Amino acid sequence: MQKILTIAMKEFHDALKNKLFLMLLIILLVLIGVSIIVTSFDFQNKVMEYNKSVQILKNLGKSIDKIPAPRFFPLQMLRAVMEYLEFIGAIIGIILGYLSIAKEKGKNTLQLLLTRPIGRFDIVSGKVLGNSILVLLVLAAAFVTVCFVMWVIGGVILSTTEIMKLGIVLLLSFIYIMGFFCITSILALVNHSLPNALIFSIIIWLLFVLIIPQIGDTMDPDNQIPGGFFKSMNISKPQEKEILAKFNTYETIRNNIEESSIMKQYERFVFALLGIKDEYNNKEIGFILMDKRGDGVWIMVFFLVSLGLEYFILVRNNLLLHRV
Amino acid sequence: MITTIALSEFQTLRKQKIFILLLMIFLSMALFSTYIGWSAKNTILRIYDEIIKEMGTKDLNAVPSNPFLNTAPLSILKNMVIYVELIGSLLAIIIGSNSFIRERRAGVSKIIFSKPIRRIEFVLGKMLGIFLVLTSIMGVTFAISIFSVALVSAHILPFAEVLKLLFFYGVSLIYMFIFSMIGLYFSIVSKSESMAFLIPIMIWILISFVMPQITSALDPAALLNPTNIQATFPQSHFFTTVQTIIHPFSISENYQIIGKSLLEGNVNEFPMRSSLLFLVILIPGCLHAMYKYNACEEEMSE
């Protein structure tokens, strides 16, 4: 265990010294702050518009019951934050995974490490543990930024349930990012050329995080018009479902395309937990977890399979030591 | 000399597996984007008919007009704007980075600079080679788009539309050339191959996601939707000032505006200034970096 901890601490300190990682971390935190500030201003605008409409109606002596007051759900403000974690969080995982192997292969220290009385299992465990702590700290910093900005801008203090929901989101984000960490480590281990391994990882990220979900979004009939097609046609949600049921094949293909992206599974789970999807807003945690268990299982499978592969490749494959 | 270097650049890239892989993805997406656009449009028209049928039995006056009645024929290609932004620019970064990293990795740069070749000729040759490669890619993509649109819509595009499409791919070529120059610049100044690739990727993230978020207040996922979504921009002096300063330099946003103007015809803006400004900075930047490059320094690390 001591050996694992020593390697983990070395990984942790090495990553903290890396300028690129620090730059990416700063970008992520700034973006999180900016996106919450932008969302807060958006909500303030809605409140101002509501107050103006109320005043006009009052002046006219009419009832104000027909205008719904804007309701504030703090976790819904995290939509852009989650999207940044989907994009940049995955890139952080890729860079950490790459650096973790590249520094050993680049300086030929992997063989040196294995001449010491350290098991290969310890090396993988140490690397995964060190980077896990770092990713958890990054996420914790992100969520502290979220809470701080919310408190400063809107004076919002999250309830216990909301903090619990955020905690589950943090855990899931950790699993999602570490999945990309493991995939990149594997590619860096098996590939002769380290830069090629990095480019491959970026291509995987591009396909599964940006392009496949983009195809699904673009195929969504409701996304064809700004503001939503069904809204422009004055169609209610139940009517929309009824109509779309007649286009089952198209919707099934679209859904399957979206579901082939691990990012979309992650997004569906966290959007439900944070109440960004209206049907899950203010619902019990147990209900959401039960309803979204399929997406949760896929994310776990993605992480566990990539982690298992990393162990398998480094522990079993002797040839790797000669690929430097 | 410049032509020789350019042609060599063109021929060497054909052997690069990563380049071929990304090129295949880009060209497949060019083909697929037409199908996605056509399929989505077709489905929405059928949905509209379904809604009309439903409403027809109740209240004919309440029937809204068909929002897709007067859409431009090229609008089914609107996804290409996003694919050029995502895959095209990444491909351009790889082309730009590889062009000089290859020489540094193999130690060829030392030999080249010991010959009577002027550095300015060398870097201009590289730039011309990169430009030729990108022009060929855009040419093939243009042909794919024309062919696929004719195939799905069962009629050949009118000449005016072909010209618009040609102009769109011309603008896309400039956009991609900017990213290849960023790649080339960092392949000259970076100490390691990984950094030569990662720094341009960071710049790409800044240009594609961070700048538009600050200037348009759109969520990152909304930035990838070719439909013209407008977000409410915060009404504050600080944000308005930041927007005014950053917007002219936000090349990805300006590229989207031009793309929409040409493919959908619903805007008539051509903010080319930012792209040209980037090129005016990057091309002399690469020349200067090459002039300062020390060929005798240690070989590049991975």
Q: Do B227 and A243 count as a contact with CB atoms less than 8 A apart?
A: no
Taking the CA of residue B82 and the nearest CA in chain A, the distance in Å comes to 9
Q: Do B36 and A219 count as a contact with CB atoms less than 8 A apart?
A: yes
Residue B297 has pLDDT above 70, yes or no: no
Q: Give me the residues of B, 122-151, that contact A with CB < 8 A.
A: none
Kindly list the domain boundaries of chain B, sorted by start residue. Answer: 2-292
Nearest CA in chain B to A227: B229
Sign of torsion over alpha carbons A276, A278, A279, A280: positive
Q: Return the percentage of chain B with pLDDT > 70, whole number.
A: 90
pLDDT digits (tens, 9 = 90+) for B119-169: 888 888 888 999 999 999 999 999 999 999 988 888 888 898 999 999 999
How high does pLDDT run on average in chain B? Answer: 82
Beta bridge partners of B192: B301
Best-predicted range by mean pLDDT (A90-104, B210-224, B242-256)? A90-104
For residue A302, the Cα-to-chain-centroid distance in whole angstroms is 14
Q: Which of A18, A29, A41 is best to mutate for the B interface (most B CBs within 10 A)?
A: A41
Band of pLDDT at residue B192, cut at 50, 70 and 90 = confident
Q: Give me the residues of A, 48-87, that contact B with CB < 8 A.
A: 79-80, 83-84, 86-87
- Mean pLDDT on B274-296: 78
Residues of B in contact with A27 (CB under 8 A): 202, 205-206, 210
Instruction: Please name the residue that has the structure tokens 């930041």.
Output: B242
Give the separation between CA B158 and CA B197, rounded to whole angstroms. Answer: 41
Q: Give me the residues of B, 51-80, that contact A with CB < 8 A.
A: 51, 54, 62, 64, 67-68, 79
| Interface membership of A14 toward B (CB under 8 Å) | no
B184 neighbors B290 (Cβ within 8 angstroms): no
3-state secondary structure B274-288: HHHHHHHHHHHHHHH
Q: Do B50 and A34 count as a contact with CB atoms less than 8 A apart?
A: no
A72 neighbors A43 (Cβ within 8 angstroms): yes
> Could you tell me the CA-to-CA distances from B22 to A40, A54, A83, B176 in Å, in that order?
40, 56, 25, 14
Nearest CA in chain A to B35: A219
Residues in CB range of B79: below 8 A, 6 or more apart: A214, A218, B29, B33, B36, B37, B226
Domain count, chain A: 1
pLDDT for the residue numbered A136: 92
Q: Do A226 and B227 count as a contact with CB atoms less than 8 A apart?
A: yes
Give the separation between CA A295 and CA A302, rounded to whole angstroms. Answer: 11
Q: Do A24 and B194 count as a contact with CB atoms less than 8 A apart?
A: no
> Could you tell me the CA-to-CA distances from A304 to A185, A266, A272, A300, A307 in Å, in that order?
14, 15, 23, 6, 5
| Interface membership of B106 toward A (CB under 8 Å) | no
pLDDT digits (tens, 9 = 90+) for B69-122: 777 888 889 899 999 998 999 999 999 988 888 888 777 777 777 777 788 888
Taking the CA of residue B166 and the nearest CA in chain A, the distance in Å comes to 24
| Angle formed by the axes of helices A19-60 and A2-17, nearest 10° | 70
Taking the CA of residue A148 and the nearest CA in chain B, the distance in Å comes to 20
- From the list A135, A127, A140, the residue with the least C-alpha distance to A178 is A135
Tell me if residue B301 falls in helix, strand or coil.
strand
Backbone angles phi, psi at B301, to 5 degrees: -90, 160
Pick the more confident residue, B22 or A110: B22
List chain A residues with pLDDT less than 50.
324
- Identify which of A217, A221, A235 has the shortest CB distance to residue B44: A221
- Mean pLDDT on B219-232: 70
Q: Do A98 and B194 count as a contact with CB atoms less than 8 A apart?
A: yes
C-beta neighbour count of B154 within 10 angstroms: 6
Residues in CB range of A300: below 8 A, 6 or more apart: A175
Q: Which domain holds residue A275?
A: 2-322
Residues of B in contact with A79 (CB under 8 A): 219
> Could you tell me the CA-to-CA distances from B147 to B140, B143, B153, B156, B162 in Å, in that order?
10, 6, 10, 8, 11
Give the separation between CA A279 and CA B277, rounded to whole angstroms. Answer: 47
| Interface membership of A236 toward B (CB under 8 Å) | no
Residues of B in contact with A324 (CB under 8 A): none
Residues in CB range of B283: below 8 A, 6 or more apart: B127, B181
Residue B283 has pLDDT above 70, yes or no: yes
Alpha helices in B79-158 (DSSP H): 79-83, 89-106, 108-114, 119-153
pLDDT for the residue numbered B267: 65
Instruction: Please name the residue that has the structure tokens 């018009």.
Output: A225
| Interface membership of A109 toward B (CB under 8 Å) | no
pLDDT for the residue numbered B301: 61
pTM of the model: 0.85
Q: Count contacts between A and B (CB, < 8 Å).
A: 153
Taking the CA of residue B65 and the nearest CA in chain A, the distance in Å comes to 9
pLDDT for the residue numbered A54: 79
Length of chain A: 324
Instruction: Please name the residue that has the structure tokens 């976790």.
Output: A75
Band of pLDDT at residue B226, cut at 50, 70 and 90 = confident
